Amino acid sequence: MQHLEVTAKKIRRHIIEMIGTANSGHPGGSLSATEIVTSLYFDVMNIDPENPADPKRDRFVLSKGHAAPVLYAALAEKGFFPVEELKTLRQINSRLQGHPAKHKLPGIESSTGSLGQGISTAVGMALAGKLDQSDYRVFCLLGDGEIQEGQVWEAAMAAAHYKLSNLVAIVDNNGLQIDGSISDVMSPNPIDKKWASFGWEVITVDGHDFKQIIDALNKGKSTDKPLLILAKTTKGKCISFMENLADWHGKAPSAEQVQCALEELK
């Protein structure tokens, strides 16, 4: 797992640097999802940066589209585009906008940002795979605040109805959203029991433990149901002054804070 830990640290550094340079972005939920995205792109998914449109590729949908920095950093490290381009985050005419745009950047499977819609797109991709008798898998990352959206549960119901065993949804359960605790804003708890009641296989993991994450992602191959991975995470993970603070959901660090964060990530 050492190569994954090294890659995750690089991705975290990219997140801090690009959001700091842009003076805009969402660090908290990008940092909490780093191990999840690293596991997918550097261990689990069948993808090829040299052939990003391969019809046999696995698909990843970032339903919590505001966490685009973690996705951009992973795509760059994987070789889909130059790492140097990360510094253009949120600039006019940049391919790296505040939310992922499918037609701007290779490796982006769906334009996301309107919360709740990404999982519906993922359900459509998985259903298409079943109809085409293709072996690809579809992975979708949601925020725990995002699952307050009603559309998420319509998608969950459809996925179970069509027995989309090729679909894996991961909930980044860091417990915080822009206005505070998810329990205070609009509690979706108990998350695991709700997804199970909709007909999904459910596995709870430590969202910063690579072995637990990868084992759970691979288990999806042995079930005839869609799989929900409830990943317990920490908002702002690895940056001491950001951890477990809702204030860092969508706030950029100052130049001084960027340097402090990068020192912590050495």
Residues 89-104 pLDDT 10s: 999 999 999 999 999 9
DSSP assignments along 102-114, one per residue: TTTSTT--S---S
Report the pLDDT value the prediction gives residue 109, as an integer from 0 to 100: 98
199: left (phi over 0), alpha (psi -120 to 50) or beta: left
Amino acid at 194: K
pLDDT at 191: 98
Where would I find the H helices in the chain?
Answer: 2-22, 27-32, 34-39, 68-78, 117-131, 150-161, 182-186, 191-197, 210-219, 255-264
Over residues 122-138, the pLDDT tens digits come to: 999 999 999 999 999 99
pLDDT digits (tens, 9 = 90+) for 194-227: 999 999 999 999 999 999 999 999 986 667 899 9
What average pLDDT does the structure give for the chain?
A: 97
The DSSP 8-state label assigned to residue 237 in this structure reads T
Per-residue pLDDT at 1? 87
How far is 127 from 133, CA to CA, in rounded Å?
Answer: 10
* Phi-psi map region of 236: left, alpha, beta (phi>0 left; psi -120 to 50 alpha): left
Question: Do residues 175 and 191 lie in contact, with contact meaning Cβ atoms separated by under 8 Å?
Answer: no
Q: Which class would CATH give 2-264? A: alpha beta
CB 247 within 8 A of CB 180: no
Nearest to 108 by CA among 120, 126, 121: 121
Q: Is residue 118 predicted with pLDDT exceeding 90?
A: yes
Domain boundaries, the chain: 2-264
